[in-house]
Structure 1
């Protein structure tokens, strides 16, 4: 439904579009850093609130998955609500997503029982909600983790006052696009046009993506995975009037950057170059990196690489080197450093043969290579030599 010709112009609208906070998300693979990453997701809420205040955005639209699961502890349930409460001049509008869908006696009923902050508005039914006289919000909340039908269908016939800006809020996968999300909930790619929406705010994909002139995924405000959104951000949306194009500006809110990189190594020069380039990256102390290394090195270079990776691991917030495709082929000089002619040299020769044996499985070859590296390091350290 579109505004009638000659409808009054009610004025501009500025709001923030965000989604996929997933408060309570575990980061068990990160050991002692898990609590820091969990806290960062809460800190992102405060960054959004400060941005809204600074830029005069009266409304923040949260397009689903505020929580990571449907049964958070009471502390986890209250933590984001209390942070939103602290920004009393900002109205926060929330719909359930697939991770935190609305069901009877579920987390949203628990939250309501505990008492919602007056500036937090849950939209649990598909019905128009006022965003002041200028705009109307058309939410599509999820009541199940997975929906067969497109829950945004109702927006096509939803009524709004003449001249009001129409904003849709939904969580799911737009049909016809390669989804990088998790929700199995279809959304028509042309929903904004069909429903006369000035903007359709979507959640589920953890990266910022424009689907059409008025349809956007905000991404997550704090990045949480590799090969997705490197840095968390939100979208500031300005609409001059009903029917006017939306101006969308991304703002960084995340503290941490998630970067994946692949490198080929064959000699000491390659290692020098790799370390120099990684150390030149900005904000190493807030960088999480997955580093896939490929190629073949001799033992001396491989030991040097281990030393340098140790330094980079200490410099970065998190470094996860993947050495599965980096092979070790010792030179005669490498083997003589282990032992010129003795028991250790014999052991090194057997490990080299196993590492180069085409009949051995990749796992067996890998174990032999790692054992060679450890033997080299042990003998080097016993002689007091540097890598």
Structure 2
């Protein structure tokens, strides 16, 4: 059997309760959220479609992880879609990928991006026909998770709720001996986990409702709120200054009242990082490039690079050359040069023109760039014009930038 055939067979396999580390009688599931299928990445140009497809590929990664770890259930804590009115293809794409894992039950609640309303996306999905292993929880009603656990969902019916929709869990009766698991999407009060919409959730909801685990969505980063309350984060990172790499949580609970054992697993293909560097001399540039090239997996790295300091024109031209090479090495490089200033030396100006009209233009731009009486935008434009003049004259002289 070829490798492709073996891969396909594993994708379609049922969950194996004999998976490594599985304890007989334990409840094992995967907690995930904030897939936001269909999310636009318009600022990334031709890379947009790649990032959109990566979010779909993460679903298959989750399915394979569930099979390998013997997790019979995957809990999706809201925002499966990025909008509550997706195109039909976008609506069906994640459902079809979940269909490929018939031995895994996928449990989905609406979030603030894909909230449930009459004749909305969830009614459309049901009319088109859901895969048998995909379970939508559109009302706050207890649902069985196999023989050992009960799911208490808190689906959103609008983008923003004033009341805590998890409050109903406090009085939800379940049979003795059942593990109680809550599933919700919102912002935990008093913990600093502010989401995109209001949707408040009490920080001690798990204790009040006697939950063995409360699976949350909305916060795009893995975060433990309490002993039994977690945000899973997004399975494929989607922004700078948030979650560096996509993850899901593998959760195992041995029985009612037992502590949850939670393990994070990487599912994302891309890393999103922000880095700040201060430059003051040409010698700093070699070290900067060396450090960036030493980062792992450059072809799958997205970086926002904030540069500060002051360089002369020669060093600034060298920086442009190095950044162009790094941009080609990485999936995406977004340098911010707003706080990096240019101060030409006498030698820089003489390279532009020793004594002529170009030299006069360069001197005028230098004075504007250093004029504290001008606004920051005007000074910045003068600096950029000076750099471009320098590069043009060097190119015309046949010199390397």
TM-score using structure 1 length: 0.97
Q: Report the count of equivalent residues.
A: 378
Partner of residue 59, structure 1: 73
Matching residue of 2:59: 45
* Residue of structure 1 equivalent to 2:12: none
Contact 1:171 1:183 in 2 (8 A): no
Instruction: Find 1:348's aligned residue among 362, 371, 385.
Output: 362
The answer (yes or no) to whether the contact 1:180–1:206 under 8 Å persists in 2 is no
Q: Which residue of 2 aligns with 1:371?
A: 385
* CA shift digits 1:181-237 (9 cap, x unpaired): 213100000000000000000000000000000000000000000000000000000
What are the Cα deviations for residues 312-360 of structure 1, in whole angstroms up to 9, with x where unaligned?
A: 0000000000000000000000000000001110100000011001111
Counterpart CA distance in 2 for 1:268 and 1:331 is 13
1: CA distance between counterparts of 2:194 and 2:394? 47
1:61-83 deviation per Cα after TM superposition (whole angstroms, max 9, x unaligned): 00000000010000000000000
Find 1:178's aligned residue among 192, 205, 217: 192
Q: Show the counterpart of 2:38.
A: 24
Q: Structure with the greater relative contact order (CA < 8 A, sep ≥ 6): 1 or 2?
A: 1
Of 314, 337, 342, the match for 1:323 = 337
Task: Work out which of the residue numbers 193, 198, 203 in structure 1 matches 2:217.
Answer: 203
Q: Is residue 109–residue 184 contact of structure 2 (8 Å, CA) maintained in 1?
A: yes
Q: How do residues 125-164 of structure 1 correspond to structure 2 at under 5 angstroms?
A: 125-164=139-178
Runs of 4 or more above 6 Å deviation: none
- The CA RMSD over aligned residues, in Å, is 0.8
**1:282 matched to 2:332:** no
Answer yes or no: is 1:114 the counterpart of 2:114.
no
Shift of 1:178: 1.3
Q: Are 1:292 and 2:306 an aligned pair? A: yes
Paired position in structure 1 for 2:254: 240
Q: Which moved more, 1:265-274 or 1:324-333?
A: 265-274
- The answer to whether the aligner puts 1:335 opposite 2:349 as a matched pair is yes
Q: Is the counterpart of residue 97 in structure 1 residue 111 in structure 2?
A: yes
SS of 1:159's partner is coil
Q: Secondary structure at the match of 1:291?
A: strand
* Structure 1 unaligned blocks of 5 or more: 1-9
Contact preservation (8 Å) 1:67, 1:99: yes
Q: In 1, are the aligned partners of 2:188 and 2:194 still within 8 Å (CA)?
A: no
TM-score, normalisation: structure 2: 0.94
The reply to whether residue 230 of structure 1 matches residue 225 of structure 2 is no
